[in-house]
Structure formats: C-alpha cells, structure tokens
Structure 1
Amino acid sequence: MSTLPESASSMGLQPFGQSGTGRSIMANGQLHGLLEGYKELSSIPSNEGYHALAITSAVNSLRGSVAPVNSFLKEGSSTRRCVIGAGFEIEYELNNYYGGPQTDVVIIDIRLTGDKSESRNRAALWNANFSSSVDRWISKDAPEYILEKSSKVSGSKESPFKIGINGYSRDLDHAINILPSHISRGDTNNLNKLKENGYLLFYVPQKGALKSGWRCVRNLGKSITREDLEAARILANHMKEAHDKNYHVEWTSHRGGSKVLTEAMKLLAQRQVDLAGKQKVFLSDHTSSQYAADVVRRKIGMNTDDATWNKSTPGIAQLIGGKNLGTADLAISANTLFKHTEKENRPGQAVDTLHHGRKLYKAGKKAVLTGTGAWTIVTTLSTKFGISFTMAQTIVGLLGLSAAQTILSSIPSLNEGYHKSAAEPSKQLAQKLFSKK
C-alpha cells in the first residue's frame, strides 16, 4: 500500500531518493524517471556526469531549504519557485500533503539549458589553461557545472581556487585573456604560477553591450539587469557550493563583474551564510560601489585580512560607480572603525579614518580652484556621455585628477590589464601610437 496521502498519490507523484531526513521530494512518473537517470549518470566522471550531479545536488538541497541562494519566487505565486544553475532550471511547488508543520517539495519541471552555457549565452564556470604554443589562454569545450579539486588545485588554504569574474568583454576568449593580469595583481611570479595551475573564469555574457565598452557608464545609477541578476544567482550557488565543500576561494572581479559579485554576496547574506573566512574577494577597476561590496563581504564572513582588496584606475565609471565620487574610502574606514574594530584598536583606525577625511577635504578645496581648462572637460563629459553638468563638474573638480588621465583611463582598450599606477593607460596609448609608426 502506498504511503503517500491520497491527494498526492492521485496526482501520480512518487518520492525521489531518501526521504528519512528533511523534506520529501516528489515528482510525477516522467520526472521521477528523469531524476533517477541523472542520479545514475552523476556517478560517472565526465562532463555529462558532472552536469547530472549539479542537477541532483540542486534537487536534494531542497530537502534542507526551500529557498536556496540561487532560487526565486515565481511572479504572482506564493508557493511556486525556481532554482537556476549554469545548465538547468528546476521549477517546484511547495505543498503540505500531510497537514504537519513541514512542506514537501514537488518538482514541476526540469529545463535543461546546458546548450546556452556551452554556446556562451548563459553565465557559467569555464576552465582556463595557458597554451604556450599559441601564447594565449584557452578554455575547454564545455563549462564546469560543479567545483571540483584537481591535482594542481586542492581548494585548501595553501592551494585555493582562483576564479575570475569578467565585466565588459567581446566574448569568452577575450574575457579569459583579460582576467589573469588582474588575478595575479600584475605580478610576474604570480602570473607564471597561474599559468602552471590554470584558473576558472565565471563568464558573464555581455548581452547588448556597447561595442566601445561604455555599457557600465550608460548603466550608472540603474538597478541590476535581469541577465546580471541571473548570473549573480548562479555565482552565489557556486560560492555556497565552495562553502559546503570547505574550499578556499579567491574571487577576482574586473570592471562590471563587481556588480554581479556584490549581488551574489547579497544573496548569501539574505540566507545568513557565514563563509568563515575561507573565501575572499578582490575588486579590480570596479564600476559598482566599493562601499556596498565591503559592507556585504563582512556580513557573510569573507576573509578581510588583506588591506589591498581593491584597485582601480581613475576612469569615469570607476570614479562614479566604484569610488562613489571619492567618498567610498572614507565610508569604508568609518564603517570599519565603528562596527568592526575592537575598542583597544580604535585609536589607530580613527587615524586612518581622519586621513581619508583629509584627502576628501583637499579634493573639495581643489574643486573650488578648478579653472577654465576643466570647464572644457566638464562640457565634453556632459555632451559625450549624457552626464549632467553638476555631475561632470563634480567628477573633474572634486577628485582633482587631470582630465586627460581620467579620459584615457575610461577607454576600455587601455583599461584591460592590471595597472600598478594611474599612468599606465597613458603608457599603453603611447606604446600603441609608437607601434603604428
């Protein structure tokens, strides 16, 4: 005799897997057979097997939480939700057939989206290895659906996963060759070690991006796009996966990738995930709020021991979006002082906060002294990029940076590699002009 309630059995639902702990997972005959097939396939070491393992792991995770970090509530419903991954979407319903305090999960549909990931139209992890024969970084033919340690990278504290998150790029090949410079922080020894071990790229497709790379400037002040939010959910799931597997990970975002990374950390914070200091982030040429990223990385227990956790050239998007018009460093320092500093260490942190305040004050004084040359740049910014006169005036004056340096740092082709100084874009331009002679 069936142990299912009549209301459930009459719908042809069958329990999937072990139901002794957590919620019961149920599906109709067709989906139940599909899940059993994935369960068998997941034990085979292959790309298809890892894909199947990602799906069955996602389904089984619903026993413990009906709202994983990579899930969302379907619009117009209070019981229908969807989990998304790099190669799948799982739609499910919450029901209480037994009348007790715990809801059961009913799988409604499993949609495979692996073709989108493999065609590079959906966010996913890609394995990147350096090819000395062509002197370039190349990717495997298919994405990685789960984080798995290798003979070269164990995921330990001494051998953490190095994972990059791209911003604007033409395609996967372009992105995969940009990130190594930022992951290695421009250090030759670190880059050589990265070439030996390889790295992972969390590729975020840039749908509808402007060819010149000004997408982040155009989107300043706007809420996160649907595509970036989808990418953030998939990224948050990998961060949670690394946490569950006790892996150490170093995440490095470039330009607009900082927005996806920050949103992923917010999703973890909503579920009160504590990473216990085993993961850390580095924002390079970030175009979204550095302050917002700092607040949320502390909230989820990221490793914050490294004082140099961000670096950017003074491009327009970096100054407005990343540095919050020069106030980010002061806000972060004040937040650290009042919320994350022990009483006995506050005098030293207070000095740091005053230092940032003094820098901002000097920048403000310099703004008053800005002359007619800067006014020309203000007009250019306003007409060229559609920025208001007041905002353009603030950018040029308050931050006290040379207009030429700011504009050069805003050109995507001069802002791809890791820059150890603000003069790097100018040097790159000079090199390009010299090479053409």
Structure 2
Amino acid sequence: MVEIRMRSTDSPYARPPRSSGPPGRPPVRSRVHRAWLVAAVAALAIVTAGAFTTLAGLLTGPLHREFGWSRSAIGLGASVNMVLYGLTAPFAAALMDRFGMRRVVGGALGAVATGALFTTVMTQPWQFVFTWGVLVGAGCGSMAMAFAATVTERWFVRRRGLVTGVLTAAGVFGQFAFLPPLSWITERYAWRTGTVTLVVAALVALPLVLLLLRDRPRDIGLRPYGAPERAADTSREQSAIVPGAALRTVHVLARSARTGPFWLLAATFAICGASTNGVMWTHFTPAAHDHGMPATVASSLLATIGAFNVAGTVASGWLTDRLDPRHLLAAYYALRGLTLFALPLVLTARIGTPLVVFVVLFGLLDVATVPPTLALCRELYGEDSAIVFGWVGAAHQLGAGLAAFAGGAARDAFGSYDPLWVGVGALCGAGALLSLMAARPRAAAA
C-alpha cells in the first residue's frame, strides 16, 4: 500500500493565508467554527436513524393482524436489523475513511428510506427481513455511535467528550421523540402511514447531509476545533488513499484483539447492552404488567427514562472531558447495578416515589457509558479508534441479544422477572471492576 505524505509546510491544519482562495474573493471568517455545523448535521442524521429503531416494535401487531404472519417470523426481521446494526458500524467507520462521511451517511439515509418505502408494499415475511432487517438495519448501523466517533475524532480536539455526549443523546432523542407521534399515527391511521413518515424524515435529512457535511477540516482550509495554531497533521491522509475498507476493518480488529484493553472494553460494553437494551427495553413493560401495571403506563415510564437519557449522556460527556474515564465507567456500572437490585422492590402496580426515583436514576445512567468508553478507545487506539469503537459496539449488541433471550427464559423458568434484575445487576458490579482494570492511556502508549 502506497501512502502519500504531506510536507510539514503543507499541513492541512495550518491557518490559510489571507490571500488564499479564489482571486478577488476575500477569505470568509466566522466566529462559529464550522465543526459545530458539521456536528449539528451529524446529529440530524443520528436523530433520523434513532427514529427508525423505534418503529419495529409498533409494526409487530399490525403485521400480525394484516398478513397473519407469526410473531417469530416478524421478530426475525427485527433480529436481523439489530445484528446488522451492530456489525455494520465498524465497517462503516472504515468506509468513511475510504469514501468520506458525506457519501457513506448519504448512502445510509438512502438505504433506510428505500427499505422503509418497500416495506409498505411487501407481501411475504422474507421481504420484511430484507427491507427492514437488511436495508434499514445496515443503514441505521452506518449512522450509529461509530459515526459519532468519526465526527468527534476528525473535527474536534477540544470538547470531544461533550460532543460525543450530544451526538449519543441525539440517537436517544430520535428514539423517544418520534415514539409518541409514530404510535399515534399508527393507531389513528395505519402502519404504512407511520412508515412513510419516517421515509419523509430521511429524505429531508439527505440533502442537508450532502450539502453541509464535510469529511475533514482540511477540505475547507480549517483546523479541527481547538487544534493548536501549528498542529501537525497526525490524522489519516486523504480518504482516496485508504483502500480496502473491509480488509482494514478486519485488520484493526485483529490488531486490537491482541491487546487486553480491547477485551475489557468489549466486556464492559456487552454488560452495558445487556443491562439496557437487553433487559430494560425488552422486558420492563411485561414485567410491570406482571405486577398489575397497564402496558401503556409502563411504556410511558420507558419514555421518561429516555428523556433523562439525554441529560445523563450530555452530562457524562462534560465529565469525560474533566475526569478519568475509567473512574466514570466504574461509578456508572456500580450505580446501575444498585438500581437494578432495587427494581424488584419498587416495581408495583402503581407509580410511587421509589419507582419515580428509579426511573430518574436509571435514565441518567442508561447511555452515560458511551462518552467515557469512546474516550478510552480514542486514547488507546488513536486513528483506529472509530473502528475499534464500532467493534466494541458490536459487543454491546451481542450482550443485548443474549440478555433479551435470557430474560424470556428466566420468565418461563421462574414465573417472574425478579431473578433477571438481580443477575444483570450482578453483571453491572463486574463491569465496574473491569472498568478499573483498563490500562491507563499513557501507560498503554509507553
């Protein structure tokens, strides 16, 4: 592989001279760095992807009633969607190095819009697996947390933790901001109307991404936000010289898998997926229903947890810029484990003060693990951090899937979800210990 190296005098992060640019056109200076506009457009794409992840749960009942498909056949499409969501992320990060963020994210929005649109004319279960499972799953995975990692890595030197928290919160916001209106549209009109609503949302975001998203600051003669005046160009060169995106993704996995911190991060993030997506978003509503709580009330509590997710993730990003990420992760997992231990004691037919406290605390801790995990990936693996984080995110989805299955098995075996909450709470305690075992970035670099 041949690399093209730039001379130090041609550093892309150097401030362009006042005479740069087309003749006769003075350089344009703005008090707001372009990185914030790029982050805003990225957040819009992530919000759109988050909205698509909420619709699958609303489609199960209508598809079962209209086509007579079994719930397992419908669930297969949702499972394929979840698996590809996790597996696509690291490859998408490498493709962004090869073809650029704008092309990959634009293609992902086109894929989710196409998949959702063809869902409205499907007649067979395998078509749902292809349209919703493959197209929508791969498209949403391309706009997942690895995309957020790529944006922060390329465009920010300062405020990386804060931006990571905001972009992560954008996905959560997309999930829960769209859930009530999509539920109302699906119930009031039809499931196809709700699906077309998301198609329109993706098509609205697509031109903004193509027009405003830029791959790297040097493409428009800028340095990353917070970069020194004469920062050396340590980032990867122009994307056109990074061939073999899929091969590079596998090579990054092979290299990182030979290091201890990778397995520690993957294990803790698998525990994160098990204790959030795997049990809470899958089994909380039926568990509450077992205690006599109406399903609509339990779903409202989940939506409230989602609202606190946004505040918790942004706050976690702010803290990650200031504190040791390992200590933050240990605290988050320990506190999450305690809340899960307490859940069997506070979950009743009515909403009382203890249950409200649980909802607030769990919401603040739910997605707070993302910014410090990404910070450790960045500090330990450098320019490959986005791809490494994509593989760590795949472990998150694996943990979620295993916990979702284990939760159903526990309910069948014990007649209650209480053993599930206790077992996953114990896993969170293990996650707190594993977080403290991760090597310090400076020691690992040495």
Using the size of structure 1 for normalisation, the TM-score is 0.25
More strand by share: 1
More helix by share: 2
Pick the structure with greater CA Rg: 1
Using the size of structure 2 for normalisation, the TM-score is 0.25
